[in-house]
Structure formats: structure tokens, C-alpha cells
Amino acid sequence: MRRMLTISVGIGFLVTIFAIPVLAGGPGTTAANFLKIGVGARGTAMGGAFTALVDDGTSLYWNPAGLAQIKGGELSATYNLWFEDIRQGYLGVGFPSLGGALGLAANYVDMGTFEGRDEAGNLTGNFTASDLELMVGYAKEISPKFSLGFGAGIIQDTIAEDKESAFLANVGLLTELSKPLFLGLVVQNLGSQLGSDSLPLTLRGGLALRLDPFAVALDVVKPTDDDIYYCAGAEWWIGGLAALRAGYKSNQDIG
């Protein structure tokens, strides 16, 4: 039964991922493109190939089903300084609860300060721009080899005094195909429009080979506003205290 469910979901995912180009509007045509920027040191170091491997406080972003892999409390916190003074901070927690696992996450991006000008090009003063996402989620191990997870939240886009909000959700599954091979599938950024623009709906499918202390992973990703791109990563834990990671990502357009 579990295998048939996994196969059915996988087929549905593949049909959707190749049918979705008819909805595409080109890179940058969606709102809240900060949602495309990966979070957490581990997932980003592996090039974003994390859908079938995630088991920490970043699960609500990469694959909510990963929460079910958490055995104790997990905390993930990152802060990044991007180009042109753009700053991103992420805080996520996960812990066993209610027969499964609960997760909470906050994702914040500060775009910096900009010069405001009127239609004639005259300075009108400076303004700031930022984005905030808050999410809560739950995952449960349906069987020893199959987990489902769901995350729901709200995002707020702020430009000067103007604010726009939207609701969104991430839904994912994680299953052990045949030890040590794992499959992860997730739909990211299902939700309402942000102002007049849609959110960057994204489909991710990933395979991970877990050979402790080694792991290798491959993800295939299809955003609605861009072409399919690929992520690959590898991880080697040294004595359970530190890890070496490497990753590669093909052409992803943030927009």
C-alpha cells in the first residue's frame, strides 16, 4: 500500500512538473522571489540538493516531511549578507510533539535603503524594503519508511509605507525506497496572490543515498516562472562533530 501510494504520488509529481511550463510567465514575473533563496548552512552548501535528506530546523523550507525525522529538539539559525547590502536571516525549530513533530520558522530579508524620486526625477527621501515569512508545520511518520509533512504561514512584503500580505503552504513527503535510497517530493509556495502577483510555486523532487557517514543527493526543481534546474550535493561527517560538504546548482534565475 505504501509503495503504491509513493508510486502514484511520484507519477503525479512528474506529470505536473512537465505540464507546468504552460503556466510560466518568465523569471521575475512572480512576487516574493526571496522564497527561492535557500536557507540553512547544510542545505545551501549541498547546492540545494536537500529534499530527500533534510532532517533539521530548516525542514519547513526544504521539505516539511523532514520534521518527522527529528528525534530531539533541532534549532537552525543563519544570517547572510548578500550583494548590494541585502541581508537575510532564518530561524527554524523542530521538535517531537502530538505523535509526530512540530516546526516553527521565520525567514526575513532586508533589501536595504533606496532613494525615492517623483515622476520628474526629484528626490523625495529614502525608503526601505523588506520581506517576512512566518510558518508553522507538522509532520508524521505514517509508517517506518514513509512520512508526510505540511507547513502553513503568512508572508508580508513591505516597500516604504506599502504592505502586502499573502498566505502560503508547503506540502511534502519523504520515503525510504530501498535502504539506503530515499525519495523526497515537495510542493512549495502554494498560496494566495501577493498584491496582483502570484507566489513562486515550485515543485521539487529529490533522491538521497545515505551511507553514513557519507551522503549524496540530487534534486530536480521546477518553478512556475523558470525552466527546470538541477541540484547535486555530497556530505561527509567526520567523527560526528564536523562535516565537509560540496554542492552544484545548474542555472537558477532568482528573478
Q: Give the pLDDT band of residue 19 (cuts 50, 70, 90).
A: very low
Rounded to whole angstroms, the Cα distance separating 89 from 16 reads: 32
CA distance 191 to 51: 20
Residue 15 reports pLDDT greater than 70 = no
Instruction: Evaluate whether residue 150 is within a structural domain.
Output: yes
Residue 31 lies in a domain: no
pLDDT in tens, 72-83: 899 999 998 887
**Residue 76 lies inside a defined structural domain of this protein:** yes
Residue 2 has pLDDT above 70, yes or no: no
Is 114 domain-assigned?
A: yes
pLDDT (0 to 100) of residue 8: 52
Q: Are 93 and 79 in contact (CB under 8 A)?
A: no
Q: What percent of the chain shows pLDDT beyond 70?
A: 87
The answer to whether 167 touches 189, Cβ cutoff 8 Å, is no
103: in domain: yes
Evaluate whether residue 139 is within a structural domain.
Answer: yes
Q: Which of 4-8, 72-76, 159-163, 185-189 shows the lowest per-residue confidence on average (mean pLDDT)?
A: 4-8
Asked if residue 226 lies in contact with residue 255, where contact means CB atoms within 8 angstroms, the answer is: yes
Of the pLDDT bands very low, low, confident and very high (cuts 50, 70, 90), residue 113 is: confident
Residue 200 located in a structural domain = no
Q: Rank 55-64, 158-167, 224-233 by mean pLDDT and report only the highest.
A: 55-64
Convert the pLDDT of each residue in 84-98 to its tens digit.
788 999 999 999 999
**What pLDDT digit, counting tens, does each position of 208-244 carry?**
999 989 999 999 999 998 889 999 999 999 987 899 9
Number of domains into which the chain is organized: 1
Binned at pLDDT 50, 70 and 90, residue 46 comes out as very high
Domain residues for the domain of 83 are 56-183
Kindly state whether residue 152 falls inside one of the protein's structural domains: yes
C-alpha cell at 193: 496572490
Q: Is the dihedral of CA 199, 19, 136, 80 positive or negative?
A: negative
Q: With 80 as the cut, is the pLDDT of residue 105 above it?
A: yes
Q: In this prediction, what percent of the chain has a pLDDT beyond 90?
A: 64
- pLDDT given at position 66: 97
Confidence of residue 114 (pLDDT cuts 50, 70, 90): confident
Amino acid making up residue 90 = Y
Dist CA 247 CA 242 (whole Å): 17
CA dist 34 to 56, 139, 189, 193, 216, Å? 21, 24, 11, 15, 26
**E strand or H helix at 97:** strand 87-97
Q: What is the pLDDT of residue 161?
A: 85
Contact 149, 67 (CB under 8 A): yes
> Bridge partners of 81?
87
pLDDT in the model for residue 172: 97
The answer to whether residue 18 scores a pLDDT higher than 60 is no
Interstrand relation of 229-238 and 87-97 (parallel, antiparallel or unpaired) = unpaired
